[in-house]
Amino acid sequence: MTRAQQQISFFLVLGTLYLALALGLIPLPEVVQSEIIPVLPLWALVSFGAYLLFRLGYGVFTFNDVPAAHAELMGEIDQAKIELRQLGVEVDG
């Protein structure tokens, strides 16, 4: 099973469970049914956004902790400059 199939299966199960909860097919206390279940999609979206912002911030925070990748990137930049100069492009402005 590919990763896409796994994700589709996960979201289908999650959607089916939410639909069963929203339609009242799974009995819950009235307070949960009327106040919590309707806001679950919004809560999930906000939580997912917060998770992605954290991952982005952590990636930026730890970017300088990879000296080997930095050296490799600088080498590739130097190689690209050499190739562009050979083609007659001015790269140092």
Closest CA to 37 of 20, 12, 54, 59: 20
Closest CA to 41 of 6, 17, 25: 17
Query: Residue 79: is its pLDDT beyond 70?
Result: yes
The model scores a pTM over 0.85 = no
Mean pLDDT, rounded, for 13-33: 93
Residue the block writes with tokens 């097919």 = 25
Neighbouring CB atoms inside 10 A of 21's CB total: 18
Query: Residue 6: is its pLDDT beyond 90?
Result: yes
With beta carbons less than 8 A apart as the criterion, state whether 47 and 54 touch: no
* pLDDT more than 70, % of the chain: 97
- The Cα–Cα gap between 12 and 9 comes to 5
Query: What does the pLDDT read at residue 60?
Result: 87
